[in-house]
Amino acid sequence: MRDLPNFLAVADVLGDLTPEQRDMFELRVEQWWPDLHEGLAAVYPPREVEDLEARLLFLAATAFRDREPELARLDTKRLLDPGWFQSGKMVGYACYADRFAGTLEGVEQQIAYLKELGITYLHLMPILKPRAGDSDGGYAVADYRQVRADLGTTEDLRRLSAALRAEGISLVADLVLNHVAKEHAWAEAARAGDEKYRDYFYVFPDRYMPDAFERTLPEVFPDFAPGNFTWDDDLSGWVWTTFNSFQWDVNWANPDVFYEYADIILFLGSLGVEVLRLDAIAFTWKTMGTNCQNQPQVHALTQALRAVARIAAPAMIFKAEAIVAPADLVQYLGQGKHYGKVSDLAYHNSLMVHAWSMLAAKDVTLGAHALRGLPPVPASTAWITYLRCHDDIGWAIDDGDAAAVGLNGYQHRAFCSDYFTGQFPGSTARGHVFQYNPATGDRRVSGGAAALVGLDAAVEAGDRVATQQAIDRLLLLYALILGWGGIPVIWMGDEIGLPNDAMWAQEPGHADDNRWVHRPRMPWGRAEARRYPGTVSARMFSGLAHIIDVRKSSPYLDAWVPAEVLDESDPGVLPVLRRHPLGSFLGLYNMTPQWRPWPSWRLGGLGLWDSVDLLSGRPINVADDGNVWLAPHASVWLVPRER
C-alpha cells in the first residue's frame, strides 16, 4: 500500500477548520486513499497518478471545507449508518421533472403526492443543461454546472434537494460520464483547435482506427445513429460517438478527464444530490478487439471516483446504469478486488427482463433458472429493482440460460418482442418496436407498463374484467420488485396505470424516438381520480400504496439479505426466498391466469409452517389436497406468524 498523502499540502485549505474537522478529513483520507490509489494506478502511468493525486487531494479538501453544514451533518449521519440505502423502507420514483411537474419548483409542490405513495428516493431525469434541439432526453449535456433553464436554476435545485431531504426523500441525479454534447465547452474548444481539449475525446484523422474498432463494436442506436464514429469538419477527423452523432464520447484514458468528472461529482454533491446515477458507465473504456463495454478499467476508475466522493461528501452514493449481461452486471456492484468498492447500487436489468418474459410466457422456468445463476453481490450493496424506466426494454436473455431449459434464445427473444408489441396471438400488449437491428434480429420494445400488461387495450374496449386482470398483472409485477430487496423504483405514472402517450410523435424532435411513448406528461386530473374508488387510478394507486406500506412496515426486506430463487414446484409460480435472521420471507408469484398450487410440505423446512401472508394479512390457508392455492396473477409474502 502506498503512503498517505502529505496533509501539509492542504494545510492552507483546511486552515480555518476546527481540529476535529481536520481530523475527520484525515480519517476519511486514511480510509479511502488506498482505494483511490489502487484505482488510478491500475489505469494511469505512475507519474500521472502522482500528479493527479495531488490535484485530487486539493479538490477534496476544498469541497470538504466548503460543505454546507446541513450536508456535513448528513455526511456524519450516513457514516454512522452506511447501510441507509439498504433499508426496506426505501422506495423510489423516477420521472422527468418537466413532465412530472413543469419545473423544479413544481416538483417541490408535489412532494405531498410522493409522500402519499411512500416515496423516499426521487430520481429526476437529466436536469442539467442539454444541447438545444434533440438532446437524447437530456443525455447530451452541454454544461454540467447549469440546470436546464426551463426547470430553474442551481439555487432552485439546492432548495429542492433540501426540501426533499426534510421530508425524508433522497435526490437522485444523472451523471452522464461517457459523453458530452458536441456543444459542450470541451468539444467547442477541441473544434477550435485546442490540443488539450482534443485529447478529451477520441479523434482519428482517417478511417483506419475506426474501422478496426468497428469490427467488434455493436451499435446502440442502429436506426438513427448507425456506426460508432462521426466525421467532424472542424476537427478534421472521426470522433467516437457511441450513441448519437451529437454525443461525443470522452476519453477516460486522459487523467484530466478524470479530474474534471471528480470536480463535477463534488459540485453535484454540494447541491445536495445524494445518489449519482452513472449513465452508460459500461461504455467508458475502449479496448481494441472488444465490444468496448465492461472493461476492467471501468471498475478501477469507478473505485477511484467513489473514493474521492467518500472523502469529501460521503452522504453521496453511486448507482451504476449498466444495462448488460448478468455476468457483467454483477461487476458493477464489485467483484473480486473491487468487492464493495465501486457502485453502491446497480439496476437489476435481468430481473426486469425476466419479470416481463415470465409474464408473457406464463412460465417461470427460464426466469427462475437465469436469476438463480446470478453470482452473489456484496452485502454492502443493493439492487435497483424496476419494471419500466424512460428507456426501451432490450431482451437480454442469455442463449445459454435458454438452452439450459430447453428453449432457443433467439426464438424466445423474438417471442418477447412479438408478445409485447401485440403481435403474438392473444396478446393485448401495446408496445412499439424500438431500434430493429437486422444484423442481430433484436427488436427492443418501448411502451409503458400499463400498455404492456394490456391495461390500455382493456380500458379502451371498456372491458371491466380484462381491466381488472391487467391491473392484477401490473400489481403482481410490482409485488415482485417490491419484495425482492434493494430499492424498487416506480416509473412515473405506473402508480395510476398511465397509458401510452398517443401524441408522443407530435412534439418537435421526438418523432424518431418512440421511447417518448412511455414518457408522457403527468395528467394531474387522472392522478386526482385516485381519490375516487373504482377508477383505474384509484385501484392502481391504492393497490401499489398498499404493497409499499406492507414493505415499509416489514423488517424482512433489507437489501443485505439476498434474494434466492428456489426450485419451482409449479412452472407458473416463482418462489423467492429471503433468509432473514428474523425468519424466512417467501414471496410466491403466480405468473399465470389460472389458480396454481404451492405444496405446503415445502413450508416446514423454511420455518414457515405457521405463516402469515403479509400482503393479505391472513394466515396461510392449506387446502385439503395439501396445497396453498394462488389465485390468477396473485402474489403472497409469507413470513412466520408472530405469537
Counting contacts by CB under 6 A, is residue 203 touching ligand GLC?
no
Task: Quote the distance between the C-alpha of residue 218 and its chain's center.
Answer: 22
CB of 599 to ligand GLC, least distance (A): 42
Q: Nearer to ligand GLC by C-beta: 139 or 637?
A: 139
Task: Give the Cα separation of 380 and 295 in Å (integer).
Answer: 23
Residue 160 has what DSSP assignment? H
**What is the bridge-based pairing of β-strands 573-580 and 563-565?**
antiparallel
Residue 506 has what DSSP assignment? G
Task: Supply angle C-alpha 585, 590, 593, rounded to 5.
Answer: 165
Task: Supply angle C-alpha 565, 352, 524, rounded to 5.
Answer: 130
Q: How many binding residues for ligand GLC (CB under 6 A)?
A: 10
237 in helix, strand or coil?
Answer: strand
Cα–Cα distance list, 16 to 20, 21, 65, 244 (Å): 11, 10, 9, 47
Catalytic residue among 38, 279, 418, 472: 279
Tell me the Cα Rg of the chain: 25
Sole window of 63-71, 134-142, 158-166, 310-318 interacting with ligand GLC (rule: CB under 6 A): 134-142
Q: Nearer to ligand GLC by C-beta: 151 or 563?
A: 151
Sole window of 132-140, 339-347, 358-366, 470-478 interacting with ligand GLC (rule: CB under 6 A): 132-140
The alpha helices in 373-505, defined as continuous H runs, are 399-404, 409-420, 449-452, 455-460, 464-482
CB neighbours of 185 closer than 8 A, spacing ≥ 6? 143
Q: Nearer to ligand GLC by C-beta: 139 or 478?
A: 139
Among the listed residues 35, 53, 98, 136, the single contact to ligand GLC using CB under 6 A: 136
Phi, psi of 434 (to 5 degrees): -115, 125
CB of 223 to ligand GLC, least distance (A): 13
One character per residue 308-327, x = contact with ligand GLC (rule: CB under 6 A): -------------x------
CB of 352 to ligand GLC, least distance (A): 13
Nearest to 520 by CA among 459, 449, 455, 460: 449
One character per residue 386-405, x = contact with ligand GLC (rule: CB under 6 A): ----xx--------------
Element (H, E) at 629: strand 627-630
Phi-psi region of 607 (alpha: psi -120 to 50; beta: other; left: phi over 0): left
Element (H, E) at 579: strand 573-580
Active site residue 279: yes
Q: Nearer to ligand GLC by C-beta: 34 or 227?
A: 227
CB of 391 to ligand GLC, least distance (A): 5
Nearest to 242 by CA among 265, 262, 213, 264: 213
CB of 140 to ligand GLC, least distance (A): 7
Residues 238-297 that bind ligand GLC (CB under 6 A): 243, 279-280
One character per residue 148-177, x = contact with ligand GLC (rule: CB under 6 A): ----------------------------x-
Q: Nearer to ligand GLC by C-beta: 120 or 293?
A: 293
The alpha helices in 251-398, defined as continuous H runs, are 255-270, 296-312, 326-329, 349-361, 365-372
Phi-psi region of 584 (alpha: psi -120 to 50; beta: other; left: phi over 0): beta
CB of 221 to ligand GLC, least distance (A): 8
CB of 249 to ligand GLC, least distance (A): 10
Q: Which residue is listed with cell 411502451?
A: 447
Residue 453's Cβ-side half-sphere holds a number of Cα atoms within 13 Å equal to 30
Task: Give the Cα separation of 307 and 302 in Å (integer).
Answer: 8
Element (H, E) at 70: helix 69-80
CB of 185 to ligand GLC, least distance (A): 19
Q: Nearer to ligand GLC by C-beta: 320 or 606?
A: 320
Question: Which burial class, exposed, middle or buried, applies to 325 when counting CB atoms under 10 A from its CB (0-12, 13-18, 19+)?
Answer: middle
CB of 619 to ligand GLC, least distance (A): 44
Nearest to 414 by CA among 397, 391, 392: 397
Catalytic residue among 38, 321, 418, 472: 321
Q: Nearer to ligand GLC by C-beta: 243 or 598?
A: 243
DSSP for 529-544?
GGGSTTSHHHHHHHHH
Task: Give the Cα separation of 187 and 281 in Å (integer).
Answer: 20
Q: Taking CB positions, which residue lies at the least distance from ligand GLC?
A: 139
Task: Give the Cα separation of 385 and 446 in Å (integer).
Answer: 18
Q: Nearer to ligand GLC by C-beta: 113 or 139?
A: 139
Angle between helices 69-80 and 154-166 (to 10 degrees): 40
Nearest to 368 by CA among 585, 581, 588, 548: 588
Sole window of 131-139, 155-163, 200-208, 226-234 interacting with ligand GLC (rule: CB under 6 A): 131-139
Q: Nearer to ligand GLC by C-beta: 113 or 229?
A: 229
CB of 331 to ligand GLC, least distance (A): 17
Joined grid coordinates for residue 380: 454492502
Q: Nearer to ligand GLC by C-beta: 280 or 628?
A: 280
Sole window of 136-144, 330-338, 410-418, 527-535 interacting with ligand GLC (rule: CB under 6 A): 136-144
Sole window of 47-55, 135-143, 254-262, 548-556 interacting with ligand GLC (rule: CB under 6 A): 135-143
Active site residue 38: no
CB of 139 to ligand GLC, least distance (A): 3
Amino acid in the structure at residue 494 = D
Question: Which burial class, exposed, middle or buried, applies to 149 when counting CB atoms under 10 A from its CB (0-12, 13-18, 19+)?
Answer: exposed
Residues 513-542 that bind ligand GLC (CB under 6 A): none
Q: Nearer to ligand GLC by C-beta: 38 or 321?
A: 321
Q: Nearer to ligand GLC by C-beta: 349 or 381?
A: 349
Angle between helices 365-372 and 349-361 (to 10 degrees): 160
Which residues bind to ligand GLC, rule: CB under 6 A? 136-137, 139, 176, 243, 279-280, 321, 390-391
Active site residues: 279, 321
